[in-house]
Amino acid sequence: MSHDPTAHLTPADYDAIARELDELREEIFAELGDDDAAYIHKVIRWQRYLEIGGRAMLMASSLPPAWLAGTATLSVAKILENMEIGHNVMHGQWDWMRDSKIHSTTWEWDNVSPAEQWKHSHNFVHHTFTNVLGKDHDVGYGILRVTPEQPWNPVYLGQPFYNALLAMFFEYGVALHDLDLHKILQGEDDREVTRAKLRDIGRKIRRQWAKDYIAFPLLSGPQFLSTLGANFSANIVRNVWAHTIIFCGHFPGDIDVFEVGEEQLDGETRGEWYVRQILGSANISGGKLFHLMTGNLSHQIEHHLFPDMPSNRYAEIAPRVRALCDKYGLPYHTGSLRKQAGSTWKKIVRYALPGPSSTPAPPRAPLAKSKEPVAV
């Protein structure tokens, strides 16, 4: 992290990067059409088949084979709904279809996090201030130390343990993500706003629990408890998978974090914003099925460059984005799931302890070299 991978870039390079990426985006959006619409309709259709099939098998959940098959099928359905459908629909990736049922303003996902709060904490806060310390709440999710630039505190000693708990119950962490816990603890939050958000979270949790832990278990009659256990297990599987994929998108290896002030962010150009997304994101290599099950967040770099681009196009543009990184001497972070997850957990274990004693050069955002601010 002591090496600045942007030191060689000139203002003209930043302008060229912005121009080339803008042209790539315009090219893809000009091509969107029936094949893309058919893709998302097909994914939604198969997700519903899987959910119906899984819940049907759990009507016989007292039989171990039915329990295992039903739980596995329901887990896959929940992963697809959250990752490839919910996350991407709420990003507005399919708004161009003008289908009110598959639209960022109407979609509510199978997750205890209310859609409106998630869209603020994720679409705006995280995607605008990606990996900026003190601005992007995804850097450690407010409870983890994932970079030496975060001051050490004894509370971090237990972070390998409570990161495992966060993985298991990740949707609840996501639900609380739009609350500014630091301001709440300092008594500096707007209490009315906080109470309103908590009420919305409570309503969403009751709705999800009523579906998974009351309605469907009751429908299975005397197998109430085994069906409830299956639904609980499917939620845990979905949570651990989502946590793993999302953490691998920003924490492994040499991913950059940035210590910049409001003035630098205000003066950040479009080219600098693009470069920050590249330096602060990491991909995961794999096949088509793997990419589908990650919601194409295995193409985290492409997703951060173009959050509203339909996810089925990320694999297509990835080689061109990588070629652009090679052209301008920028790192293109990618690796297998095993490599990225191992690196992420290594950081979580290492930074639970004090140090490192010799602080590396501060991470930085690309310096604002232009007066033209970025339009995110």
Residue 63 contacts by C-beta under 8 Å, 6 or more apart in sequence?
A: none
CA 210, CA 219: separation in Å to the nearest integer? 12
**Cβ contact 298:285 at 8 Å:** yes
Average pLDDT on 201-207 reads 97
**Cβ contact 264:132 at 8 Å:** no
Confidence band, pLDDT 50/70/90 cuts, at residue 188? confident
For every residue of 144-209, DSSP letters joined together read ---STTSPP-GGGGGHHHHHHHHHHTHHHHHHTTTS-HHHHHHT-S-HHHHHHHHHHHHHHHHHHH
CA 54, CA 245: separation in Å to the nearest integer? 23
For the chain, how are helix, strand and coil distributed in percent, rounded to 5?
A: 65, 0, 35
Average pLDDT on 251-264 reads 85
Pick the most confident of 113-122, 175-184, 365-374. 113-122
CA 241, CA 170: separation in Å to the nearest integer? 9
**Cβ contact 125:135 at 8 Å:** yes
Residue 361 has what DSSP assignment? Answer: P
**Cβ contact 294:38 at 8 Å:** no
Tokens standing for residue 197: 């958000």
Cα dihedral: 309, 315, 80, 37 (round 10): 50
Interaxial angle between packed helices 11-31 and 270-279, expressed in degrees from 0 to 180 and rounded to the nearest 10: 80
Average pLDDT on 6-20 reads 96
Q: Tens digits of per-residue pLDDT, 286-341?
A: 999 999 999 999 999 999 999 999 999 999 999 999 999 999 999 999 999 999 99
CA 62, CA 83: separation in Å to the nearest integer? 30
CA triple 349-254-357, angle to 5 deg: 55
CA distances from 229 to 21, 68, 71, 225 (A): 47, 11, 9, 6
* Share above pLDDT 90 across residues of the chain, in percent, rounded to a whole number: 81
Confidence band, pLDDT 50/70/90 cuts, at residue 362? very low
Query: What H or E segment, with its residue span, contains residue 283?
Result: strand 283-284
359 has pLDDT over 70: no
373 has pLDDT over 60: no
